[in-house]
Structure 1
Amino acid sequence: MAKPEFLVQAIYAPQVGINLQEWLEYANWSIRDKLSSVQIRFSGSAVTREHLGQLANRVFSIRPLRPEEISENLQDPAEVDSAFASEFGFTLIPKFACLQEIAAGKFEAWINPVLLPQNHPLADKVSNGVALFSNPSATFPEFYPIDIRVLPFDELELARYIRLTIDDQPSVLSEILDPLAREEINIHEFRQPELEKGSPTTQVAVILNPCSGLSLARALQAIQDLPVCRSIDTVLPVLGVERHGMVKIP
C-alpha cells in the first residue's frame, strides 16, 4: 500500500448515517487537491461497496467501481484483538473503508476491520469520520482511461495482524514462524501473554511487515497444517507500518 504523503483534512460526524458527497463538499474538495487516499471510519451499514464505487468516480474521475471489484469483510473482531492492538500501539477499528490510488490506473478499494496507529486522525474518535490524504508530488491525469484496474485484496501489499492459538510446547514458536520466513515475510512486532496455569494452549499475536496477500496465504496454510497450530483466529490489515518501521502520521 502506497504511503499517503500528508493529511489534507479529517472530518467527523456523530450521526450514524453518512453522506460522503456532503462530507467531501464540506471539505472543499476539488480534483486539484490531488487526493491519493480516502479513509473512512463508519458504523452500521453506513458505507457499502456501492458507496465506495461511486466515491471513486467522484474522487479520481474514473468510472464508478463495480461492487464485485471491492473487497468486503464484515466480521466482528474479538475483544482480545482490541487488547492486543492496544499493546502494539494501535487502535482496532471494526468498520473501515479505504479507497486509494496505488499507481497510475491502479487502485485499491476495500471494506474491512483494520488496525490504525494511535496517532492516526481516525483512531481516537468514537464517531464516524473521513480522512483525506494527498500526494502533492504525484502527477494525476485529469481523466483516467476506462481500463483502470482495482487490485484484488490478496494482491495488495499490506501489513497484517495475525492472532493464533497454538499448543504450548518447546520450540513451538520457531515452528510457527518458519513458514513466514520461507515466504520472506518479516515480523514487525510479536506478543505472547503469560500462559494460564494448566492450559495446554496459548495465544500469540503478530504484526507482520507489508507483504502480498498471496505470500501470506501460502504461509498461513503451512502454519495451519502444523500439528501445533490449533487455529488461526484473526487476520486483519494494518495501516501505518512500512518495511522498516512505523509511518508517522502528521
Structure 2
Amino acid sequence: MNKYSISEFIKKSEQKEKGEGFFELETPRMLEVNLNGQVWAKAGSMVAYEGHIKFEREGILEQGIGALFKKAISGEGASLMKANGQGKLYLADGGKKVIILHLNNESISVNGNDLLAFTPSIHHEIKLMRKVAGMMSGGLFNIRCSGVGLVAITAHYEALTLRVTPGKPVITDPNATVAWSGNLEPQFQTDISLKTFIGRGSGESIQMRFEGDGFVIVQPYEEVYMQAQS
C-alpha cells in the first residue's frame, strides 16, 4: 500500500480506543473526554465531539465580583464553559501539549490561560493576582483547583517542574509560569536592572517569587496574553 494514500493516512491518524478512562490523551496535544455527565473546560477549546453534548458558558456571577473584574480587563484567559451530556469530546488549545493530573485531596494553582479541563468533583476558584494588576496587561488570573478528580493543563513544548524548598526560592517569568502547588503563594517583584538590559516594558522585569515547600511548572515559552477590547 502506498504510504501516502488516503487510506494509510486515515489508518495512522484515526481516533483509537485506549480505554484510559474519563480523560484520555488522544494525541500529545488533544484531550479526549469520555463524557457521561458534566465536565468543565476552557471556553473555546472544543474542536469536535460525538454524541449528545450541550455547552454552557460559565455564568458571570458564578465567581462573584472577581469575575466581573476579570471580564473587564483580562480577555478570555480564565473563561470556562460546562459541557453536559454523553459522548466523546475533543479539547485542544493552540497546539499546546496536554498534561493530565489526578488530584487526591490536593490542590494546584494554574495560570488562567493554561487550564484546559477538569472533572466536576474538583472545586475551582478564580483568583486575581492583585499585586501585579498594574504591572502587566495579561496573565492576571489563576484558577485554584482542589479536591479529588482530574485536571488537564496545557504547556507550550515540554514543561519543566522546579522544586521549591525552604530557603531555596524559585523565581520565574510570569509569562512562562504554567502552574504551582496550591500551598504556595507567589510574590511579585521587579528587577529594574534587568528591565533596562532587556529593553522592554514587561516580561523579565516582573518576576514571580515562590518560597516554601512545593513545586512550580514552567514552559520554554513566554505566553503573551491579549487584553480585552472595550
* TM-score, normalised via structure 1 length: 0.26
More helix by share: 1
* TM-score, normalised via structure 2 length: 0.28
More strand by share: 2
